[in-house]
């Protein structure tokens, strides 16, 4: 059976590796993080991922072999790159992680290997990498090796199930590359849709941009409702209930390593970028807007502020680009005394009652299920009199984003 190497054992690469291993493939996972490799070889999942733990225990050293040794590339048939492509301090896409493994691929590439890029990239990147491989190796894509762009489309925390359920889109450099990638992915997913590499690169970016822009609309609607002293949740019910053209999402902090950055893969290449830029500004500025609304009610100097939820997404342990940390810094600049809590992070998960005790301001920054029990009655047991609650997720079903308890 086809031997696979997955480069990058993060929240995308590890669930993918386990899914292939569970189907009987020999999977070699490579990562330069030695602590991560050590944990995996002990059978320890490095992050929360539903149903991944039993798969790791089942396949480890039987079908799944994690290491930091790139020489394994010489003996596999398929190489899958699941490396991060963040934006730098100037919001320009960074391909440093892909560039760092490129020499290893050139050194180890052999005839008939299939190379799959799974990282989010700007349109044309797969073809650019193909050209670099051809130039350095002397091999010809479509004849000597094959290459396709096959992006991840899963929801973090539920990747194992969604790898199977969500259609895998496949963009080959040529038809034979698409066919070979489809043959591989058909083993772990119910449906594959093929196209060309650039179309699929665009499809991945536009999917995330569409979601990010929709959340920006919801957040702007929330701001407009607050400026008009009206209940955004009631208005959303009026918009959406039994209306076939409804569907406006609820407001909330919108961040994370994908939605936050993916629009910037296009921003420098198009003359009409206002929708992307404005959406980013709305979503990124929502926490500071809410802080300013709280400041109009009370002075924050010396006040105890408790922020609940430090991850970027509900019920997971990933803090990348979380807006909660931006909010914490803003409160500290106001000379508040800030406490943070999150049930999924070791450094934040303890002493919820103590962190809430006598709080002057409580911000429910992430809609973790555990916070649903914090209604008005339960909060009153802990917080200071006239405590200000900021609940953009409406977890307490109070109908207002900011209110006094």
Determine the pLDDT at residue 91.
66
**Are both 99 and 67 inside the same structural domain?**
yes
**Are both 98 and 234 inside the same structural domain?**
no
**Are both 174 and 211 inside the same structural domain?**
no
Confirm whether 198 is domain-assigned: no
Confirm whether 196 is domain-assigned: no
3-class DSSP string for the chain: CCEEEEECCCCCHHHHHHHHHHCCCEEEEECCCHHHHHHHHCCCCCCCCCCHHHHHHHHECCCEEEECCHHHHHHCCEEEECCCCCECCCCCECCHHHHHHHHHHHHHCCCCCEEEECCCCCCCHHHHHHHHHHHHHCCCECCCEEEEECCCCCCCCCHHHHHHHCCEEEEECCHHHHHHHHHHHCCCCCCEEEEEHHHHHHHHHHHHHHHHHHHHHHHHHHHHHHHCCCCHHHHHHHHHCCCCCCCCCCCCCCCCCCCCCCCHHHHCCCCCCHHHHHHHHHHHHHHHHHHHHHHCCCCCCCCEEEEECCCCCCCCCCCCCCHHHHHHHHHHHCCCEEEEECCCCCCCCCCHHHHHCCCCEEEECCCCHHHHHCCHHHHHCCCCCCCEEECCCCCCCCCCCEEEC
Domain count, the chain: 2
Determine the pLDDT at residue 60.
98
**Are both 186 and 211 inside the same structural domain?**
no
Confirm whether 247 is domain-assigned: yes
Determine the pLDDT at residue 375.
85
Confirm whether 292 is domain-assigned: yes
Determine the pLDDT at residue 280.
86
Domain ends where: 132, 163, 190? 190
Confirm whether 118 is domain-assigned: yes
**Are both 21 and 100 inside the same structural domain?**
yes
**Are both 359 and 216 inside the same structural domain?**
yes
Range(s) of the domain holding residue 262: 207-404
List the pLDDT tens digit at each of the 405 positions of the chain.
789 999 999 999 999 999 999 999 999 999 999 999 999 999 999 999 999 999 999 999 999 999 999 999 999 999 999 998 877 766 677 889 999 999 999 999 999 999 999 999 989 999 999 999 999 999 999 999 999 999 999 999 999 999 999 999 999 999 999 999 999 999 999 999 999 999 999 999 999 889 999 999 999 999 999 999 999 999 999 999 999 999 999 999 988 777 666 666 665 666 666 788 889 899 999 999 999 999 999 999 999 999 999 999 999 999 999 999 999 999 999 999 999 999 999 999 999 999 999 999 999 999 999 999 888 888 999 999 999 999 999 998 888 999 998
Confirm whether 195 is domain-assigned: no
**Are both 331 and 279 inside the same structural domain?**
yes
**Are both 186 and 260 inside the same structural domain?**
no
Q: What is the CATH number of the domain that holds 148?
A: 3.40.50.720
Domain ends where: 142, 160, 190? 190
Confirm whether 116 is domain-assigned: yes
**Are both 214 and 156 inside the same structural domain?**
no
**Are both 156 and 218 inside the same structural domain?**
no
**Are both 225 and 135 inside the same structural domain?**
no
Domain ends where: 140, 164, 190? 190
**Are both 244 and 366 inside the same structural domain?**
yes
Confirm whether 123 is domain-assigned: yes
């Amino acid at each position: 059976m086809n031997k696979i190497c997955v480069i990058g054992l993060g929240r995308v690469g590890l669930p993918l590796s386990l899914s292939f291993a569970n189907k009987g493939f020999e999977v070699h996972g490579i990562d330069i993080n030695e602590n991560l490799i050590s944990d995996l070889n002990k059978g320890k999942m490095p992050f929360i991922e539903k149903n991944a733990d039993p798969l790791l225990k089942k396949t480890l050293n039987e079908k799944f072999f994690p290491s930091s040794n790139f020489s394994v590339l010489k003996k596999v048939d398929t190489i899958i790159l699941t490396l991060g492509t963040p934006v730098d301090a100037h919001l320009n896409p960074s391909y440093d992680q892909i560039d760092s493994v490129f020499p290893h691929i050139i050194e180890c590439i052999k005839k008939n290997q299939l190379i799959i890029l799974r990282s989010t990239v700007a349109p044309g990147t797969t073809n650019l990498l193909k050209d670099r491989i051809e130039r350095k190796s002397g091999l010809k894509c479509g004849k000597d090796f094959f290459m396709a762009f096959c992006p991840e489309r899963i929801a973090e925390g539920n990747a194992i199930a969604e790898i199977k359920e969500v259609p895998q889109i496949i963009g080959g450099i040529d038809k034979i590359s698409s066919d070979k990638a489809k043959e591989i992915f058909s083993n772990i997913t119910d449906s594959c849709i093929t196209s060309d590499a650039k179309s699929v690169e665009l499809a991945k970016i536009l999917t995330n941009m569409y979601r990010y822009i929709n959340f920006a609309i919801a957040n702007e609607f929330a701001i407009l409702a607050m400026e008009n002293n009206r209940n955004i949740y009631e208005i959303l019910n009026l918009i959406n209930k039994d209306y076939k053209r409804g569907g406006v999402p609820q407001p909330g902090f919108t961040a994370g390593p994908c939605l936050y950055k993916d629009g910037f893969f296009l921003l420098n290449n198009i003359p009409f970028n206002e929708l992307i830029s404005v959406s980013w500004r709305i979503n990124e500025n929502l926490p500071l807007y809410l802080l300013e609304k709280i400041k109009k009610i009370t002075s924050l100097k010396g006040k105890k502020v408790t922020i609940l939820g430090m991850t970027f997404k509900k019920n997971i342990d990933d803090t990348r680009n979380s807006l909660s940390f931006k909010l914490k810094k803003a409160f500290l600049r106001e000379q508040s005394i800030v406490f943070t809590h999150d049930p999924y992070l070791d450094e934040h998960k303890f002493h919820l009652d103590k962190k809430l005790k006598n709080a002057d301001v409580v911000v429910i920054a992430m809609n973790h299920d555990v916070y649903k029990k914090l209604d008005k009655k339960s909060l009153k047991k802990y917080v200071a009199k006239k405590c200000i609650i900021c609940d953009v997720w409406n977890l307490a079903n109070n109908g207002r984003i900011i209110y006094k308890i």
